[in-house]
A and B are shown apart, each in its own frame.
Chain A
C-alpha cells in the first residue's frame, strides 16, 4: 500500500478495498484493534497488517429502543483477541455468546465493519 500516513488512514483505506485488517506484532504475535502506532500497554511497534478472520463471539449486547426503530449494539470479541463495538444486521436482540461473522457495509457513506450471525450458531435469545 502507498504511504497514506498513519495506521488509522491505512485501516480505512483497506476497508475501502473490502478488507477488514488487524495490526499484529511480528515479535509477539499479539493483535490489536483499533489501529494504533503501538501495541497498548507493552508498546511493540513492529506492527504488520493481517487480514482478520472476521469471526468472533458476542461479548455484551443491548438494544437501543427508539421511537422509529430498535437496533442492537454489541461488543464482539474477535477470535484473534481484540474487542470491537458494532451491530449485528438483520436482528433486534442478539444473545451474548452468539457466534458472528464480519462484513463491511457502507454507513453514512463510509465503509464500516458490522456482523451477521454465523450460519447455525444462533445462541439462545436474550
Chain B
C-alpha cells in the first residue's frame, strides 16, 4: 500500500551553476548561484526558504555554511552526508519535514569546484585503515573489484561495460549542456587506457565543477508556482557497508533495499518507470543498479544494456542527460539526477526529451557502493 507520504511534497524549482568548468569560483559560490536560480525558478524569494538540506565534499558542516552564506535562519536543516546519495536522502528528509510542518520551503543544494581547483576527485573521506596499506585507490579500486566479481559470476564483459559508456555519450550528444560530447565508439572505449582492471578511463565518470539545487514545498502550495510541479512519490535509503571489504556481496548492492522501499512508498514498480536516472560513477554501476532496481534479473545487467538498449531510441531511457560519464560529475553527482528527472517530467529536455514521461526514478550511490538512496518522482498525472 502506498505510504501516506506519497505525493505530499513537490519539487517546484531547479537550478544549476558552472556545470563543466567554472574557473576561479568557489564551491560555495556555485552552490549559492544554483540555489538562487532554483528559488527564482520556483517563483519564490530567498527569504521564503526556511529549510536547508546540504552536502558537499568541502564543508564539514554544510548546513551551517549554507545558512550563513545565504543568510537564512532555517527552522529545519539536515546535513546528511552519504556521499553522492545524499541528495536523494535529502528529498526524503525534506518530505518528512515539510509534511510535519517543520518548514515550508525546502532548499536542497550542492556545489563543487573540484575540476578547477585541482582536477581530482575531492573527498573529506578519512583513509580506511584496512585499505590504506595496499595502495588502494579510493574509489576506483572498489568499483574495479565489484566489476571483476560481476564478470566472474555472470560472464559480464568489457564490451558490456563499454555499452554503458556509449549510451551515456549518445544521450550527451543530444544535450548541449553536457561536458563530454562528440563521437565515441566501442573500439575507442576498449582501446582506452586501463586504470584499474577491468575499468579504463572511458569507464570512469568525469571530473567537473558544478552547483545544483532544487526547491520543494507541500503539494497544496506547489500548484501556485510557475512550473508544473514534480511530485515526490517515494524515497528511501539503505546502507550496507563503508569499506568495500565489508560489502556483503560485491554483486548485489543495497539499491535492492532502497529501491524496494521507495517502490513500496510510491505504490509503483520498475515497469512503471519511464526514466531511470542511475548514478553512473563507473560503468559497472549502471549494470548493478538496473539489476538491483528490478529492471532485469540479477546477473543480466550486462546483457540488458547490449545493442544500445539504454541509448537514445533504446528499450529503457537511462541517464538522458549523459550521466556522470558524459554530462557532469563534480564529485557528488546525486542532485544532478534529480535535476534531469524534473527537466524531463516538465517536458523541457529539448532534443533529448522523452515522449510524455510520467514517472522517473533517481538512484543515488555513495562512497564505494556503500550507501544507496532511491527517489521516485512523478508528474501531476502520476501523483
Residues of A within 8 A of B (CB): 8, 34, 59-65, 71, 73-75, 83-87, 93, 96-97, 107-108, 110, 112, 114, 126
Contacts and interface: CB of A to CB of B under 8 A. Distances in A.
A6 B299 CA distance: 41
A74 B333 CA distance: 28
A126 B148 CA distance: 9
Nearest to B152: A96
Contact of A108 (B133, B144, B146, B197): B133
Contact of B197 (A8, A34, A93, A112): A93
Given A85-B244, A107-B133, A60 B149 contact: yes
Contacts of B193: 65
Contacts, number: 78
B195 interface: yes
B146 A34 contact: no
A62 B145 contact: yes
Contacts of B149: 59-60, 96
Contact of B196 (A62, A97, A126): A62
Contact of B134 (A34, A83, A85, A97): A85
Given A86-B134, A107-B133, A73 B194 contact: no
Interface string B121-152: 00000000111011111000100111111001
Contacts of A83: 245-246
A96 B144 CA distance: 13
A38 B136 CA distance: 26
Interface in B86-133: 129-131, 133
Dominant secondary structure of chain A at its interface with chain B:
strand
Contacts of A59: 149, 250
Contacts of B134: 73, 85-87, 107, 112, 114
Given A75-B250, A85-B243, A64 B133 contact: no
A75 B141 contact: no
Contacts of B250: 59-60, 75
Nearest to A87: B134
Which 4 residue pairs are nearest across A and B when measured between Cβ atoms? A62-B144, A60-B145, A85-B245, A60-B149
B137 A64 contact: yes
A113 B125 CA distance: 23
B196 A63 contact: yes
A42 to B, nearest CB: 14
B197 A126 contact: yes
Interface string B181-193: 0000000000001
A114 B129 CA distance: 14
Nearest to A40: B246
A23 B72 CA distance: 50
B135 to A, nearest CB: 6
A59 B129 CA distance: 20
Interface string B328-361: 0000000000000000000000000000000000
A38 B130 CA distance: 18
Contacts of A62: 141, 144-145, 147-148, 196-199
Nearest to A110: B133
A64 B195 CA distance: 6
